[in-house]
Chain A
Amino acid sequence: MDNKVILSIQDLNIKFTLRGQTLHAIRGVSLDLYDGECLAIVGESGSGKSVLVKSCMGLLDKNGFIDSGSIIYDGNDLAVNKKSKDWEKIRGGQIAMVMQDPMTSLNPLKSIGWQIGESLKYHQNLTGEAAKNKVLEMLADVGIDDPKRRYGQYPHEFSGGMRQRVAIAIAIACNPRILVCDEPTTALDVTIQAQILELVKGLQKKYHLTTIYITHDLGVVANVADRVAVMYAGDIVEIGTCREIFFEPKHPYTWALLSSLPQIATAGEKLYSIHGTPPNLFMPVRGDAFAPRNPYALDIDFLYRPPYFEVSPTHKARTWLLDPRAPKIEPPEVLKEIRNLKALGGDWGEE
């Protein structure tokens, strides 16, 4: 992995207007994406992970808008893009996306070949025989047998895993630089999940893709990610390499998230769960958004929003606990067990 920044999000604020109220969905997120890396964004539902990524593709719902901040890609600020015309070159051609549910993300009335060819038509001006050959090549690339026969078939003739492979073929057909996988395995059979992850890993190498995984499955994260960003209430609360997040988490929210892994629970005991609910983002959030649910919360957490404290050059977290003046609080004992987990399936070898 070289350290060239390919996409840079700076102090991004995204708001939604809903029934006359304003929802502050993304609260000042900054994030650099490095060329060729695989970044996983984790967080509970509603933490803004999808919104963050969608904003980079101009796919926000109509009532959502970028309030301030910038998204720098290739020297241009995508946040100022207004018309869908500006986005059409970015989408698919530069940043592509694989959606969550392959059963619904393909048009049931169009053949697979047509749907893959469609993006070729708009991004590479390929039509006719040339496009068809390229499509056949893509189908073979994503591991679909007998592409010639499959070319003319329709989505209902494919199983869930196969459809996700087709969706991946569509995404990478135009050689994008960034591939966004929005919970690509959530809707799939457990046995198929690993295959899809392997496939994406392979394609990432082959096409030199930078990948963003949006997921709440920490098993997937351990499997694929180089870096992990933990999101809570529209903010990245901790970001670091995979090892750092799993072995040396600093933010109480990350602790809580990891503690709720079923794999480290003791048999016969209740699974750990985080009490309370995420803050209401219709209201302004004061202090640390996680403070009300945080058993380790300090008084200052309720008053001032913590800045990022750097733990290592690659690892930073937004928590007052890292302030030199803060009392020393040890992470929960149970987190030590993560090191012993083979079940996560990750590659825990020495680096």
Chain B
Amino acid sequence: MLKYCLKRIMRACISLIIIIAVVFCLLRLMPIDSYFPNLDDMTEIQLYNAKEKLGLNDPVPVQLGKFYTQLLHGDLGVSTRYRVDYPITKILAKKAPISIKFGLLAMVISLPLGLLLGVLMSRNRNGIIDRIGTGYVVLMQAVPAAVYYLMLQIYGSNWTGLNILYNASVPSSIILPVVSLALPSIAWYAMWLRRYMVDEENRDYIRMARAKGVPERAIGFNHVFRNAIVPLIHGIPSSLLLTISGSIYVESLYSIPGMGGLLVEVIKMQDNSMVQALVIVYAALGIIGLLLGDILMAVVDPRISLTKKEGAR
């Protein structure tokens, strides 16, 4: 078990180091003017000095080395255009919690509801609940999010009198955006859980459990649900961590000052150091999410912890 975890952690670190190098080098290929808003007015000397200040005159490997040490100290550099000379970590510290709050709330709602819906759908397969649930899943998957997000915003605020935009001082104004975020996730969880549970239903060991005289309810929980949840568990840490990246669409609809559109915005502004920092942060979260997912899988699935062959004969 420990060996398995260490192996995964090692692999995660290596991928992260490689990703940072690739992102860093790619952004060195960008035109230099993105660092200096007033490039056209600068003299040669001024430009040289400015570059010197940012360490851009060093060879790329040296710059990369410096960047790694910087990162180890928790420093993502400073923004060059988004907010000139302002530390990126401070920008993130302000924006990320807002996105995380919405994301977590949405997840707290969608995970239990989605799992419940999935269980109900698989338990009365081809019944009325299953049909309604499938209809909902198809709707969420097939209709562009824009359509139901907008309808929810317009009719939701009309009928319930909730704020049409997010307002930090009005707590109830978080309801509509959270519901918007939760709707597609519920469909996602329900769809996969139903699918895995239907798969499990047809397994020999379910028939065996039935032949043992185990009550249907206990079979449903101890065997079908227990085994069907395993593949879903793998994705949960990732979705949890990636709530930080926010949702572009929901955040712009409700004018939430979160992380949602940040990456697109800084790319448009050519704020290279912000782009670099955000891409690295998201990549790191993705990798950590997968890592936690793998470890969680090993906890719930006894087959995985066995890297050594013992007693198999």
Contact = CB atoms under 8 A, between A and B. Distances in A.
Contacts of B302: 108-109, 111, 154, 156
Contacts of A119: 212-214
Contacts of B311: 149-150, 153, 157
Given A93-B213, A157-B312, A105 B208 contact: yes
A97 interface: yes
Contacts, number: 95
Nearest to A119: B212
A101 B211 CA distance: 14
Interface in B207-221: 207-216, 218
Nearest to B210: A59
A109 B231 CA distance: 13
Interface string A149-172: 110011011110000000100110
Nearest to B217: A84
Contacts of B207: 59, 99, 105
B210 A156 contact: no
B282 interface: no
A99 B204 contact: yes
A149 B311 CA distance: 10
A195 interface: no
A96 interface: yes
B312 A90 contact: no
A90 B208 CA distance: 14
A105 B212 contact: no
B301 A157 contact: no
B300 interface: yes
B1 to A, nearest CB: 13
A93 B204 CA distance: 19
A156 B304 CA distance: 10
B223 A107 contact: yes
Nearest to B301: A109
Contacts of B85: none
A217 interface: no
A91 interface: yes
Given A118-B209, A118-B212, A122-B213, A159 B312 contact: yes
Given A154-B302, A156-B312, A157-B310, A107 B211 contact: no
A142 interface: no
A90 B211 CA distance: 9
A31 B276 CA distance: 78
Query: By CB atoms of chain B within 10 A, which of A88, A107, A111 has the most?
Result: A107
B303 interface: yes
A229 interface: no
A97 B223 CA distance: 18
A158 B310 CA distance: 10
Nearest to A173: B212
A97 B209 contact: no
Contacts of B312: 156-159
A131 interface: no
A214 interface: no
A20 B11 CA distance: 55
Given A104-B204, A105-B204, A107-B223, A91 B212 contact: yes
Contacts of B230: 109
A96 B212 contact: yes
A242 interface: no
Contacts of B205: 104-108
B108 interface: no
A73 to B, nearest CB: 14
B48 to A, nearest CB: 65
Contact of A91 (B213, B300, B310): B213
A91 B204 contact: no
A93 B215 CA distance: 13
A65 to B, nearest CB: 17
A101 B214 CA distance: 20
Interface in A265-312: none
A157 B213 contact: no
Contacts of A132: none
A93 B216 CA distance: 16
Query: By CB atoms of chain A within 10 A, which of B210, B213, B222 has the most?
Result: B213
Interface in A81-122: 84-85, 87-93, 96-97, 99, 101, 104-111, 118-119, 122
Contact of B204 (A90, A101, A158, A174): A101
A209 to B, nearest CB: 15
A220 interface: no
A187 B295 CA distance: 34
A123 interface: yes
A59 B215 contact: no
Given A101-B204, A104-B203, A109-B227, A122 B211 contact: no
B306 A84 contact: no
Nearest to B230: A109
A85 B236 CA distance: 36
Nearest to A91: B213
Given A108-B302, A154-B303, 16 more contacts: A59-B210, A91-B212, A96-B211, A99-B208, A107-B208, A107-B227, A109-B227, A109-B230, A109-B301, A110-B223, A110-B226, A111-B302, A119-B213, A122-B213, A149-B311, A156-B306
18 contacts: A84-B215, A84-B216, A88-B215, A90-B213, A92-B211, A92-B214, A96-B211, A107-B223, A108-B302, A109-B227, A110-B222, A111-B302, A118-B209, A118-B212, A150-B311, A170-B208, A171-B211, A171-B212
The 7 closest A-B pairs by CB, nearest first: A92-B213, A91-B213, A104-B204, A97-B211, A119-B212, A92-B212, A107-B205
